[in-house]
């Protein structure tokens, strides 16, 4: 009975071994040679080493890197300077837009100021003294003009009234010339229409008449200075050192 059971166990073992899959030749060797996954490991930047290896023996890697640093520093400084220029330009434009924002309204009000001045010039003071109604009307126009000029002054609106001054083409517009030998040529002898400027910007040039035919201003001033110098200088007080 025992011999029969041993024979059955041996047959079952042989049958199980026959059903097991056969091992593929070289499978153990392939398992040993399988690549290792290194994707999770940090990568090492070898670009610097490659660039250094590409240098010739005469080139110093430190000098090359210092040159690159100097170039990048120059680019950075240029970018900072350009940014600062743009910031200042934008700030100046904003300030000018606020500073001269009232220029269109001022140009419209200049006509009002001109009409008030014409109204005063059309009524002589002698006529106003003879008639109380005319005098009161003229006084009211004067007060209105004074209030308008005060408002102009508060907002930095300056009147250009260059009577007796030398012609300045930046602020004056010459309309005609008048023969006046007593005045230097180019002197403003008549103001047809006063000019105005807002801060340092011209709003309207003054329309003027200038003299002609008289001596030049520079020559007249030089002659006057020479005459005054002759009268004040004592003989022997000056020595000619030109020789």
Give the count of beta carbons closer than 10 Å to the beta carbon of residue 186.
Answer: 17
What tokens were used for 237? 């007080």
Distance CA 63, CA 40 (A): 36
The pLDDT tens digits of the residues spanning 109-168 come to: 999 999 999 999 888 888 888 888 989 999 999 999 999 999 999 999 999 999 999 999
Distance CA 209, CA 173 (A): 8
What tokens were used for 163? 């009577």
User: Facing residues of 159 across strands?
Assistant: 196
Res. 32: pLDDT tops 90: no
What tokens were used for 29? 């060797």
Q: Look-up: residue for tokens 């005469």? A: 58
What is the pLDDT of the chain when averaged over all its residues?
A: 77
The pLDDT tens digits of the residues spanning 42-99 come to: 444 445 545 555 555 666 778 888 888 999 999 999 999 999 999 999 999 999 888 8
Can you say whether the dihedral through the CA atoms of 233, 237, 238, 243 is positive or negative?
A: positive
Distance CA 80, CA 71 (A): 14
208 backbone dihedrals φ, ψ, rounded to 5°: -135, 165
The pLDDT tens digits of the residues spanning 206-237 come to: 999 999 876 665 555 555 555 555 544 444 44
């Amino acid at each position: 009975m025992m011999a029969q059971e041993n024979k059955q166990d041996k047959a079952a073992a042989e049958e199980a071994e026959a059903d097991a899959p056969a091992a593929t030749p070289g499978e153990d060797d392939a398992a040993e040679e399988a690549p290792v996954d290194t994707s999770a490991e940090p990568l090492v930047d070898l670009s610097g080493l490659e660039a250094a290896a590409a240098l010739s023996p005469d080139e110093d890697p430190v000098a090359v890197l210092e040159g690159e640093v100097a170039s990048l520093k120059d680019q950075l400084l240029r970018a900072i300077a350009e940014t600062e220029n743009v910031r200042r330009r934008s700030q100046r434009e904003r300030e000018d837009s606020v500073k001269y924002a009232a220029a269109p309204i001022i140009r419209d009000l200049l006509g009002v100021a001109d009409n008030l001045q014409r109204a005063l010039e059309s009524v002589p003071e002698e006529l106003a003294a003879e008639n109380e109604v005319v005098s009161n009307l003229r006084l009211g126009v004067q007060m209105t003009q004074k209030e308008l000029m005060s408002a102009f002054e508060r907002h930095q609106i300056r009147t250009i009234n260059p009577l007796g001054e030398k012609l300045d083409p930046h602020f004056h517009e010459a309309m005609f010339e008048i023969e006046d030998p007593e005045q230097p040529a180019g002197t403003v002898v008549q103001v047809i229409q006063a000019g105005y400027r807002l801060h340092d910007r011209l709003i309207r040039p003054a329309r003027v008449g200038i003299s002609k035919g008289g001596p030049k201003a520079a020559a007249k001033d030089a002659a006057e200075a020479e005459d005054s110098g002759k009268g004040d200088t004592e003989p022997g007080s000056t020595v000619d050192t030109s020789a």
